[in-house]
Amino acid sequence: MRVATINEAGLSVEAKRAIKRFSEINGFLYHQKSMSEAYLRSFRPSTPKPTYKPHPFIMGSNFITRHPISRQLIRSDDRYEVTRVNISKKTAELNRRINNYFVSQSYEILETYLYSIAAELCMKNKRKANAINKMINCADKRSYRNHLKDKWKNIEELYSNIIIALLPKMKDF
């Protein structure tokens, strides 16, 4: 049986974009995990100890993110002093920070997609959407999305008040 590709599946542009970004994050995390495991294997305690005193080395991460309100760049220069004794602990700490960053990025992707779904539902059900929330002069999907982002900061409230209220009954599909 042949499986349809994303382009053949009849998905919206927003859905395709979300799937692509989730796939990129998944690939990055897989690569990062593989590299960390390979890195740790090269420093196994089973390797013979050098006759000289090993010097610690520096390991770090450098993420640059944008502040959500001011849009200014925020640089986090994290440096860790690593030795053979604490390398697994420091690598795990760095992996946790990277994973946390990408979990937040995944949430942002999902949030953007939910706003798009809600805007699409508002476009298709203008009268019902205006009864729930006065959306004056929302002529296109972008206007609806911007209005929803301003009005509904909490995704749970957006979901329960807009998406669930405007979803058609399953028999209408």
Instruction: Give domain limits for the chain.
Output: 13-46+56-172
Grade residue 58 by pLDDT with cuts at 50, 70 and 90: low
Grade residue 172 by pLDDT with cuts at 50, 70 and 90: very low
* Average pLDDT score, the chain: 76
As given in the structure block, the two tokens for residue 63 are 């993420």
Does residue 111 have a pLDDT over 80? yes
Distance between CA atoms of residues 58 and 81, nearest Å: 5
Does residue 7 have a pLDDT over 60? no
- Segment 52-77 shows an average pLDDT of 62
Of residues 59 and 165, more confidently modeled: 165
- Per-residue confidence (pLDDT) for residue 8, from 0 to 100: 54
- Per-residue confidence (pLDDT) for residue 147, from 0 to 100: 84
Which pLDDT tens digit goes with each residue over 134-157? Answer: 766 677 888 888 888 888 888 888
DSSP 172: G
Helices 13-41 and 87-124 pack at an angle, to 10 degrees, of 180
Least confident residue range of 24-33, 116-125, 164-173: 164-173
| 8 Å CB contact between 118 and 147 | no
Task: Please give the distance of CA 55 from its chain centroid, rounded to a whole number.
Answer: 38
Grade residue 122 by pLDDT with cuts at 50, 70 and 90: confident
**pTM score:** 0.67
Portion of the chain with pLDDT greater than 70, in percent: 68
Distance between CA atoms of residues 157 and 14, nearest Å: 21
3-class state of residue 71 by DSSP: coil
As given in the structure block, the two tokens for residue 16 are 């395709």
**Which helix or strand (DSSP H or E) is residue 78 part of?**
strand 73-82
Sign for the pseudo-dihedral over CA of 57, 38, 92, 18: positive
Query: In this structure, what are the phi and psi dihedrals at residue 94, rounded to the nearest 5 degrees?
Result: -65, -40
Task: Please give the distance of CA 48 from its chain centroid, rounded to a whole number.
Answer: 42
- Per-residue confidence (pLDDT) for residue 56, from 0 to 100: 57
